[in-house]
Chains A and B, each alone.
Chain A
Amino acid sequence: MSLQPDPAKPAKADALSAAEIASAVQGGKVTALSFIEATLARIARHDALLNSFTDVTATRARAKARAIDSAIATGKNPGPLAGVPFAVKNLFDVQGLSTRAGSKINRELPPSARDASLIERMEAAGAVLVGALNMGEYAYDFTGENVHDGPSRNPHDVTRMTGGSSGGSGAAVGGGLVPLALGSDTNGSIRVPSSFCGIFGLKPTYGRLSRARSFPFVFSLDHLGPFARNVVDLALAYDATQGSDPDDAGCAMRPAEPIMPLLNQDTGALRIAIAGGYFQNNLFPEASEAVARLAKALGITRVVEIPEAARARAAAYVITTSEGASLHLDRLRQRPDDFDPAVRDRLLAGAMLPAPLVERAQKFRRWYRTQVLELFKSVDVMIAPATPCVAPKLGQTTFVLDGVELPVRANIGIHTQPISFVGLPVVAVPVPLEPMPIGVQIIAAPWREDIALRVAYALERAGAVCAPPPRGL
């Protein structure tokens, strides 16, 4: 395979992996600058269609790439992600940009003085930021649609949703514009776009990765994490971003636990089960098919039930709407007309939820956590659908499931919410069904991202999961 990128080729042909790019740059075979130029050319060529980028930081990216090439010329190692282009959901602070978080209101903020922690860590590992990505307004979204910036579009069928709220992250990685992106996940916003766009996404344990200098949504549920087109790249980004951070009160004081040395470990002794009950309901056939395929690939038939998952989803909904409303209370008072009306109306309703009910949801969360941890005494991994369906059409508001018409937006995240509610680490893996891919959640116990990533890697090597080339470009 030629490692020389060719910007004239379509996105699917020259989208090298992060590991391949880093290897080529570290070995001096290709300059970081040439990879960045190729990436910028791909973005220019394809993003008018995908609408994944809201900002392209070309000047900064070229300067960083030149610095990497200079370091290599003097015998230095710029890091495991040397020259790897990446982009971030536009709720991450990027020095010199206003952190819009998908909103109209926030783009009036002064430019950020400093990058988000995770950007700093990615660049410390040699990666090169090339821009900020489209997202649902204030992350209160599962569709990837945005009334201010337009929808991000699915790289496999541009008439379909990317999923959200990290929709631009899904489109940019799924479309092969960048090999890595960062996003956030409060109730499913990494796992849903991963599923709809046919890529890998990691929602780490709550508190694992620093959220410092990112715009929040729900402090008690917000997670940040990476997207990639393969498991090695996902693990490289995860390892680069780990570590405690006093600038995020929710970030655990734990040392980094690198996964790369463990990725190849055998998974034969792991106790893997299918999440039953709630997670086998409200599914379109393609979601059931995806889980069945992975169960077959893993050779598993055992089914376990996560107790009270429906109530967990309800409690996550309650905490989300209430905390989200609290965050935006002043903006709701002062700038209600500048919100997406649908987001505004959800937040207004959230502001009206009585406090005792929210407190009960937080108490239920503690109870539910205990039950889930008990379950992990007899199982190491659970697999569950990431979304109930493949990507719906842009603008689609309802779908019919088992003869019942249901709202799309409210039901996209029903299988992700009970998992992130107690902060479990999840790798969303893409099952390349035709014509549209769909994701499955690989769920592990808290702080065991290593196990979820090892299982994802084993499935990838077995050919059961992969990121399909973008079919819509």
Chain B
Amino acid sequence: MAADFLDDYIEAVATALALPVEAAWKPAVKANLEVSLRLAGLVDEFLLPDETEPANVFTA
């Protein structure tokens, strides 16, 4: 996701989640989101078998 799209994305998700994001906060939110997406991309590009089980905590 290109950073240019992030302003619109932040606006849209903030509206969808009813999160208040004031104009003064947006540069820092955007900077953090860029880091998160870059690191998530590093994980995303790593191919895993379809049957890989997520490692969330759960005990039936």
B side interface size, CB within 8 A: 35
Cα A364 to Cα B56 with chains together (Å): 11
Interface on chain A toward B: helix, strand, loop, or mixed SS?
helix
Q: Tell me whether A352 and B9 are in contact (CB under 8 A).
A: yes
Asked whether B2 is an interface residue with its Cβ less than 8 Å from the other chain, the reply is: no
A residues less than 8 Å from B54 (CB atoms): 359, 362-363, 365-366
B27–chain A nearest beta-carbon distance, Å: 9
Given the interface contacts A342-B28, A345-B25, does A314 sit within 8 Å of B43 by beta carbon?
A: yes
Q: Tell me whether B20 and A361 are in contact (CB under 8 A).
A: no
A residues less than 8 Å from B30 (CB atoms): 349
Given the interface contacts A321-B36, A349-B33, A352-B10, does A364 sit within 8 Å of B25 by beta carbon?
A: no
Asked whether B44 is an interface residue with its Cβ less than 8 Å from the other chain, the reply is: yes
Give residues of chain B (35-60) contacting chain A, Cβ–Cβ below 8 Å: 35-37, 39-44, 46, 48, 52-57, 59
Asked whether A3 is an interface residue with its Cβ less than 8 Å from the other chain, the reply is: no
Give residues of chain A (322-375) contacting chain B, Cβ–Cβ below 8 Å: 329, 332-333, 336, 341-342, 344-346, 348-354, 357-367, 369
Asked whether B13 is an interface residue with its Cβ less than 8 Å from the other chain, the reply is: yes
Additional 10 contacts, C-beta under 8 A, given A315-B39, A318-B43: A249-B57, A311-B46, A329-B19, A342-B28, A350-B36, A352-B13, A352-B29, A353-B33, A357-B44, A366-B55
A side interface size, CB within 8 A: 42
Given the interface contacts A350-B36, A361-B43, A363-B48, does A345 sit within 8 Å of B29 by beta carbon?
A: yes
B12–chain A nearest beta-carbon distance, Å: 9
Q: Which residues of A contact B (CB under 8 A)?
A: 219-220, 249-250, 308, 310-311, 313-315, 317-318, 321, 329, 332-333, 336, 341-342, 344-346, 348-354, 357-367, 369, 410
Asked whether B18 is an interface residue with its Cβ less than 8 Å from the other chain, the reply is: yes
Q: Tell me whether B39 and A333 are in contact (CB under 8 A).
A: no
Q: Tell me whether A363 and B9 are in contact (CB under 8 A).
A: no
A353–chain B nearest beta-carbon distance, Å: 5
Interface centre among A332, A345, A350, A357 (most CB of B within 10 A): A345
List of 6 A-B pairs having minimum Cβ-Cβ separation, nearest first: A349-B32, A362-B54, A314-B39, A345-B28, A365-B55, A357-B40
Cα A15 to Cα B52 with chains together (Å): 51
Q: Tell me whether A362 and B55 are in contact (CB under 8 A).
A: yes
Q: Tell me whether B13 and A346 are in contact (CB under 8 A).
A: no
Q: Tell me whether B32 and A360 are in contact (CB under 8 A).
A: no
